[in-house]
Structure 1
Amino acid sequence: MTTSSSGAVGVGIIGAGNISDQYLTHLSSFPDVRVIAIGDLLEDRAKAQAEKYGVPHAGGIELVLNDPDVDIIVNLTIPAVHVEVSLAIIAAGKHVWTEKPIGIDREESQRLLTAADAAGLRVGVAPDTVLGPGVQTAKRAIARGDIGRPLFASTSFQWQGPEIFHPNPAFLYAKGGGPLLDMGPYYVSALVHVFGPVASVAALGLQGSPTRKVQVGELAGQEFPVEIPSTLSVLTEFERGGQAQSLYSTDSPLKRHGIVEVNGTEGTIVIPDPNYFGGSITITRPLTDVSVREQEIIQVPQEGVLTGRGLGLLDMARSIRDGRPHIATGEFGYHVLDTLLSIEEAAATHSFVTVESTLGEVGSLPADFDPLAATL
């Protein structure tokens, strides 16, 4: 490991597909990190992204793994190879920031965490949207008692599916994808930030259609199989108290994204869409005068600097230099995966399933965390 002691932390990226634009846009605006290399199996794609964003080195995956100036590598590959690529990054002596989920099964994901721990390296796991001002401001409001004691949450993610915009969406309906494994990490991560670790889950699942068609791009009209449940209704129980009911569906003509509502003894807080970094936060108070039917709705001012993907990596980079824990840890990512796989198992067996993993206290970003400041 060749981590420098001062100046911007060197970052490499493996995977130059759709989501790399979001990472590159924001990472290039953070003074405390510097993107040095991009690699992809399709080297021309990596080189095009490097030219677009002014990254000095681009080519194959080995180029990124072997670059001595790269301290952290961002894994933007498809879920089925997340662990394989992350293990290669650890073997190269680099810290890992991986897109969600950390893997697609428990054993291989635990193997990654064990390898990283043995090597003295860190694993960070998306989504870092929940570290944005939206969820973090709401989390602080709940922690200071603005809604009293949190009792239960309701979340909903429903629409007709990513094939209407993604040029190659088949992997999103394969094992490791679907509305649960693709979008579930955002909602489960937000709930764990509020309520703490999950104790058990129950679920019902269905498959709206056994096949789907690509709607856009060069593959438009091409049919592909659906390998996972495309709708799941979920009940969640948390270790420290509290419950949640959640819907994940790509079978709905009606689009309803980003519904996260936490109900407490003294109010209900509406949290912004956990797939985004910010948004409106409101608290609705109970009626105190039953003769007045209009409820009090309070706008909660959003605290912090609004940026985008790469925020969690930045926290990890600063934490490495400071010698403190980062927030979006591999253990957090593993607990989210364990919860999601338990939901799949609950849907398959029509029973409650205990989530075996757990977590300690989940950290928060301070309100004055400034991604655009040069601190290193």
Structure 2
Amino acid sequence: MERVGIGIIGCGNISGAYLKAMASFPILDVRGVADLNHDMAVAKATEFNVPAKKIDELFADPAVEIIVNLTIPKAHVAVGLKALDAGKHTYSEKPLGINFAEGKLLAEAAKAKGLRIGAAPDTFLGGGHQTARAIIDQGVIGQPVGGTATFMCPGHERWHPNPAFYYEVGGGPMLDMGPYYITDLVNLFGPVAQVAGFAVTPRKERVITSEPRNGEHIPVHVPTHVAGLMAFANGAVVQIGMSFDVAGHKHVPLEIYGTEGTLIVPDPNHFGGDVELLKKGGAFEPQQLTAPYGDGNYRSIGVADLAHAIRSNRPHRASGDLALHVLEVMEAFHTASKNGHTVAITTHTERPMPLSQSLVDGRLAK
């Protein structure tokens, strides 16, 4: 199968994981990396033996079919629109945009131009999450009833070298970490119908404790503790908690409840992890992973799936429709908190098709 040319814009922290994982997928041909800071692009290009280019060069390169947008969240839509204007499909880091309105603008522009958009996270395609999905689809836990989704930590200023953007508009625990959890829940249950929630900002500034900005104070412009409920179209109701204000907790990332059993789903920020199943009347038992991509960090499998989908003219799984739906759900928690009522979700997305076949050897995933 003819390889698909990839241009990467944004050479920050996450770009290394993408470039390393892309080597696992023969269909991907990295034609160059670029960044507003060209020195960063050169450094990343040298590390991974790919060309360093200027941003405009990637947009103009006819061999580049997909722009992978790894910029900061507030630049996702602006870069995505430029990619579409250049006739390129685009795949963005999460979230799709910093608000639903601009995410919708990107989605509408792609449809008008007959181009595809996709977005992270693609961790739901990992072996742990596909195994959990198969257990649900086989009816093992009975009728889905609900679940819990929990991410809580003291804040990213502990470890990130430049954490200020996590506390700007477009940041916060919901838009930063929520995409992993909500995307995986849509993978497991289908689309969300309604949202209720509360969002608070306990501190108006944070102190960085990581290097090189240790001791610097940064302002907080977004809620940093969000709690809520998601009512799914299939009838399940899931509690969610996302926080940068919790010193520690004992919740697992994802628990799924059904009338006949309970499922422990791995951390949706990772591809693998332990899947545990409790059947009614029994005890939790570990489950063997029955799907590939549970043994490492395959951050870019969504790009590879998009590339295969372009070549075979089929839907891709980490799609713009999915990312836009998740973005609307995340924004709805803040809207519900502000207005004091539940919020109906206007977008609808189909559950992504399960990943039934390996992409490692270049075969199509059907």
Are the equivalent residues in 2 in contact too, given 1:129–1:309 (CA < 8 A)? yes
Letter in 2 for 1:118: A
- 2: CA distance between counterparts of 1:258 and 1:7? 42
Q: Which amino acid aligns with 1:94?
A: K
Instruction: Give the Cα–Cα distance (whole angstroms) in 2 for the partners of residues 255 and 162 of structure 1.
Output: 16
Report Cα offsets for 1:27-49 as digits up to 9, x if no partner: 02211111110010000100110
Pairing partner for 1:171 from 142, 161, 165: 165
Structure 2: give runs of 5+ residues left out of the alignment.
none
Match of 2:290 among 297, 303, 308: 303
Measured after TM superposition, the shift of residue 257 of structure 1 is 7.4
Q: How does 1:76-225 map to 2 (within 5 A)?
A: 76-225=70-219
Shift of 1:255: 5.1
Are 2:339 and 1:352 aligned? no
Q: Please list, as runs of the form range in 1=range in 2, the aligned pairs for 1:329-344 lying within 5 A after superposition.
A: 329-344=319-334
Q: Displacement, 1:256?
A: 5.5
Instruction: Say whether residues 1:320 and 2:310 are aligned partners.
Output: yes
- On the 8 A contact 1:179/1:250 being kept in 2, the answer is yes
Answer yes or no: is the 8 Å Cα contact 2:266–2:275 preserved in 1. yes
Q: Output the TM-score relative to the length of structure 1.
A: 0.93
Quick check: 2:129–2:266 contact (8 Å CA) kept in 1? Answer: yes
Note if 1:275 corresponds to 2:269. yes
Equivalent AA in structure 2 for residue 335 of structure 1: H
- Whole-Å separation in 1 of the counterparts to 2:341 and 2:216: 36
2: distance between equivalents of 1:271 and 1:201?
22
Q: Out of 247, 265, 276, which is 2:259 matched to?
A: 265
Matching residue's letter, 1:147? I
Per-residue deviation at 1:258? Answer: 5.5
Between the aligned partners of 1:358 and 1:242, the Cα distance in structure 2 is: 16
Go from structure 1 to structure 2 and tell me whether the alpha carbon gap of 1:90 and 1:185 turns closer, same or farther (over 3 Å shift): same
Q: Give the 3-state SS of the residue equivalent to 1:254 in structure 2.
A: coil
1:11 pairs with 2:1: no
Q: Return structure 1 stretches of 4+ with deviation > 3 angstroms.
A: 255-258
Count of residue pairs brought into register by the alignment: 361
Q: TM-score if structure 2 supplies the norm length?
A: 0.95
Q: CA RMSD in A?
A: 1.4
Deviations 1:240-260 (A, max 9, x none): 211000111111110557610
Alpha-carbon separation, structure 2, partners of 1:208 and 1:134: 35
- Alpha-carbon contact 2:192-2:345 (below 8 Å) kept: yes
Tell me the equivalent position of 2:361.
373
SS class of match (1:305): coil
The one-character-per-residue Cα deviations of 1:290-314 (angstroms, maximum 9, x if unpaired) are xxxxx42222211233241001111
Q: In structure 2, what is the Cα distance between the partners aligned to 1:236 and 1:374?
A: 37
Q: Secondary structure at the match of 1:240?
A: coil
Distance in 1, Cα, partners of 2:101 & 2:261: 41
Structure 2 counterpart of 1:12, which letter? Answer: G
Distance 1:309 1:253 in 2: 28
| Contact kept in structure 1, 2:186 and 2:351, CA below 8 Å | no
Q: Which ranges of structure 1 fall in alignment gaps of 5 or more residues?
A: 1-5, 288-294
Matching residue of 1:33: 28
